[in-house]
Amino acid sequence: MNLGTDRLTAAGRGAIGWITINNPDRHNAMSLAMWQALGRAVDAFAADETIRVVIVRGAGDRAFASGADISEFAEKRATLAQVEAYDGAAEESCRKLELLGKPTLAMIHGYCIGGGLDLALRCDLRIASETAKFGVPAARLGLGYPFSDVQRLMQVVGPAFAKEIFYLGRQFKASEAANMGLVNQVVAPGELESAVVSQAMVISENAPLTIAAVKRCVAEALKDPAERDLAGCSAAVQACFASGDYVEGRTAFMQKRKAVFSGR
């Protein structure tokens, strides 16, 4: 898939779409071109009916992602207008990943820091190697974090752990991240890919409309009550019961066989 840069690649393997952050020399720091490529990759997988699950990972063995590539800031973020354009492009791509109607998994090893952690939080599930390290060093750099980013972290780990992560600014081990609820599972380094693929395959074989409806309902539940689209949630649930997959699911259950879902 041609995304306009070789520093972020995307490829489909069967029902799984792989997005690889490919900047290992800089701990997979994200450049503007990479943020833009991320959005194009998500768009492509959203339109591809053969893709049921998307996995996001970092190339090499040192990092998932370490946030923005500061080396290009003098050129790409020198003025207020450039900063706004840069941040807007990054947020647009991250929102596409977050709102993708298909389940997403972050495969995390090594550093998952700052904007890299925010990227992982945009995924539905996070599976980490025991070598993973997490953190938001904003308080060590004097940076301000916007409400939406603080809220996103708090929705996953709760207010007390969110404060701890921001206040201390230190790096947390994978075991600590699991205790916070920041990751769903921690595995040995040599088992990371197989664990992620195993979960992705199970998800890909389940009913896509059911999963999409649950993802929609969870997203709406996290909004303020006045902003929730409950009618959209209801429509997504009704679409499940009106689908051929519902017929296939209950038929397969009665026949004591594995269901084969089409997403229709």
Percent pLDDT > 90 in the chain is 86
Instruction: Give pLDDT, residue 128.
Output: 98
Q: How far apart are CA 244 and CA 263, in angstroms?
A: 8
The pTM for the full model equals: 0.94
CA-to-CA dists, residue 50 to 53, 135, 214, 240, angstroms: 9, 35, 20, 19
Residues forming a β-bridge with 148: none
> Does residue 226 carry a pLDDT above 90?
yes
Percent with pLDDT over 70 in the chain: 100
pLDDT per residue as tens digits for the range 17-26: 999 999 999 9
Q: How far is CA 10 from CA 16, 20, 59, 114, 123, in A?
A: 11, 6, 12, 23, 16
Output the CA torsion 86→90→95→97 (10° steps).
160
For helices 159-168 and 147-157, give the axis angle rounded to 10 degrees.
Answer: 120
| 104, 16 Cβ separation under 8 angstroms | no
Sheet of 63-65: strand order equals 63-65, 111-113, 133-135, 172-173
Q: What's the pLDDT tens digit per position in 122-157?
A: 999 999 999 999 999 999 888 888 899 999 999 999
The predicted-structure confidence for 158-193, as pLDDT tens digits, reads as follows 999 999 999 999 999 999 999 999 999 999 999 999
Domain boundaries, the chain: 8-203, 206-254
Query: Given the structure tokens 């201390």, which residue do they identify?
Result: 168
Q: Is 159 exposed, middle or buried (0-12, 13-18, 19+ CB in 10 A)?
A: exposed
**Are 114 and 136 within 8 A, CB to CB?**
yes
Q: Which CATH superfamily is domain 8-203 in?
A: 2-enoyl-CoA Hydratase; Chain A, domain 1 (3.90.226.10)
Q: Does 4 have pLDDT greater than 80?
A: no
Name residue 12's beta-bridge partners. Answer: 17
Of 200, 152, 157, nearest in space to 178 by CA: 157
